[in-house]
Structure 1
């Protein structure tokens, strides 16, 4: 296996006019750890206090059969999910086949990111995968199986998300995935659990001002986005901008640091994580290009499991657990926790 490209800590991107220093404290550790995260993702698939190891994910060719041309989208509100269960049932009372299989197996398998800082990223010093999405997955495992330790993390790329659900390689995907009507044709989504928006990561102004760069200002420029994302699809519709695909957002950051991309586009939460790892970048202050409602992904047939998780999410939003997870990961870069997104229910099975 070819080792991943390493960006020396003293290397300066072309034209940036600065040397790179690791810095001090937590920020310095994050900057120094960028390359470590890339290497760690390539060398291991999952970890945690008691998480079992899983094989290194390999790039997959999505073989899910697309809807025929002209097939109408079967929803007019992508955030509408199934009604939550009336309450969280006792495990012994659950008869649904898919959930019984999880209970008998003894652990929940969740597809996650290992390079999306703040949402799902491997700490280069502890090798644990941590973040907002990971804490949500832990909550599901604890509710369903009685312990957060009964969680197995499967590292996947953005392009893998639909296929691993269709192939039942995972029980759930918690990987900052935008809910769309097109995706509802292939998988099921929980109710919205986080609301984001697509923005731009650009070079920080030497004077300290936050640029208000928008996509319309990048004509003739190279903008990076991960393959298999709605972000890349949106980018390719912008006239005059060269779309530069990468495996993931960390790959985009490396291309940006190497001078092979002029900007990175993605959800503001993801970009905030990249900016925290590279102090010479900043999230543009321009308005979000899109609304990005996040949903947990499930196999299309797992309606009961989706309803179970919708009950749990509603309870977590009501009792403060959602806010606590937000404040743990996102309050520092994004400000105090907003009201959690309201669940929209009533979808027909």
Structure 2
């Protein structure tokens, strides 16, 4: 076995352990409601979506921490004692477990902590925010938000969810907090590969249940799609030689390339636009408005920029916070 194969194999084994642990959380089973025989099924509610980026306008200034409006979703979260968030643990720089501290950290986690601090107050120095992070896979992102609302249910998801009209029918989104784009990762010695078009007939991995998978199939139907529950799962398949490439958001691929010295992200323009939003239950509009207020404050006071510069600037270059789009009724 040559040195390159030995290192890649070792990395695959190490990352496999992380990837396996990252999918341990089981989604809350969805309640089953039986329709009486005589009842006529109601037409499904369809949210207006002339503009997928359009979210709910905040209701003025944020309430003071520990003073949430009575009966609000935020008051129920406060009563539970912590914000429960669905996140990734293997997307480096977005949400990944620090091997030294064991804590999950990244750009997405900073967004979650800011929401929790707005509800409970800024923690004392050295103390964590009042957040319970639950590791979920890509296919679990929507089901956990559609599950029954009760204490302990996931309140919010920050796992690089692309905002689109189809998903607005199932969940609600915050205003856009980052604009990503889909690219391609391959082995560094594949110098002839310039785009997804050059991989016709070959296996390429994308997370199951993701827009990345849909976009890949549309961009090149001749590619053989392979899926994994997590981004880390795709990286393991790549390092094992079971796929020749990975396609996904530039934020995710930058983190994967940093973990594999024999991988590179193709420097072609992205073949899709992926606006990220924080996901919430579609019936909790008051909470969506509150989260939009938190994001607006982060963008205005510089906290968004500080977080971006820490986690994403080195790999992706300079960026400014995306402007919010409101007006959803």
Taking structure 1 as the reference length, the TM-score comes to 0.81
Judged with a 3 Å threshold, the aligned counterparts in structure 2 of structure 1 residues 62 and 245 are, in CA distance, closer, same or farther, namely: farther
Matched with 2:137 is 157
Judged with a 3 Å threshold, the aligned counterparts in structure 2 of structure 1 residues 212 and 312 are, in CA distance, closer, same or farther, namely: farther
Q: Indicate the RMSD between aligned Cα atoms, in angstroms.
A: 2.8
Matched, 1:39 2:17: yes
Matched, 1:174 2:158: yes
The structure 2 residue matched to 1:185, chosen from 149, 153, 169, is 169
The structure 1 residue matched to 2:216, chosen from 216, 235, 244, is 235
Distance in 2 between residues matched to 1:71 and 1:222, nearest whole Å: 38
Residue 231 of structure 1: SS of its match in structure 2? helix
Judged with a 3 Å threshold, the aligned counterparts in structure 2 of structure 1 residues 330 and 44 are, in CA distance, closer, same or farther, namely: closer
Matched, 1:57 2:25: yes
Matched with 1:121 is 96
The structure 1 residue matched to 2:184, chosen from 187, 200, 214, is 200
Judged with a 3 Å threshold, the aligned counterparts in structure 2 of structure 1 residues 73 and 88 are, in CA distance, closer, same or farther, namely: closer
The offset of 1:259, in angstroms, is: 1.2
Matched with 2:119 is 144
Matched with 1:283 is 265
Q: How does 1:70-149 map to 2 (within 5 A)?
A: 74-90=48-64, 91-146=66-121, 147=123, 148-149=128-129
Unpaired segments of 5 or more residues in structure 2?
Answer: 34-41
Distance in 2 between residues matched to 1:153 and 1:34, nearest whole Å: 25
Judged with a 3 Å threshold, the aligned counterparts in structure 2 of structure 1 residues 59 and 152 are, in CA distance, closer, same or farther, namely: closer
1:211-250 deviation digits (Å, cap 9, x = unpaired) = 7621111111111001010111222332211001111111
- Residue pair 2:12, 2:239 contacting (<8 A) in 1 also: no
> Which is richer in strand?
2
Judged with a 3 Å threshold, the aligned counterparts in structure 2 of structure 1 residues 282 and 231 are, in CA distance, closer, same or farther, namely: same
Distance in 1 between residues matched to 2:62 and 2:107, nearest whole Å: 22
- Residue pair 1:62, 1:159 contacting (<8 A) in 2 also: no
Distance in 2 between residues matched to 1:260 and 1:64, nearest whole Å: 39
Residue 162 of structure 2: SS of its match in structure 1? coil
Taking structure 2 as the reference length, the TM-score comes to 0.86
Judged with a 3 Å threshold, the aligned counterparts in structure 2 of structure 1 residues 96 and 290 are, in CA distance, closer, same or farther, namely: farther
Distance in 2 between residues matched to 1:162 and 1:116, nearest whole Å: 18
Judged with a 3 Å threshold, the aligned counterparts in structure 2 of structure 1 residues 108 and 154 are, in CA distance, closer, same or farther, namely: same
Unpaired segments of 5 or more residues in structure 1?
Answer: 1-9, 13-17, 23-30, 46-55
The structure 1 residue matched to 2:228, chosen from 233, 241, 246, is 246
Higher RCO structure, 1 or 2 (CA under 8 Å, sep 6+): 2
Distance in 2 between residues matched to 1:244 and 1:130, nearest whole Å: 28
Distance in 2 between residues matched to 1:62 and 1:223, nearest whole Å: 32
The offset of 1:101, in angstroms, is: 1.0
Q: How does 1:12-27 map to 2 (within 5 A)?
A: 18-21=4-7
Distance in 2 between residues matched to 1:190 and 1:40, nearest whole Å: 29
- Residue pair 2:22, 2:137 contacting (<8 A) in 1 also: no
1:6-40 deviation digits (Å, cap 9, x = unpaired) = xxxx877xxxxx34549xxxxxxxx9776445424
- Residue pair 2:188, 2:262 contacting (<8 A) in 1 also: yes
The offset of 1:58, in angstroms, is: 3.4
Count of residues in Structure 1 that have an aligned counterpart in Structure 2: 310
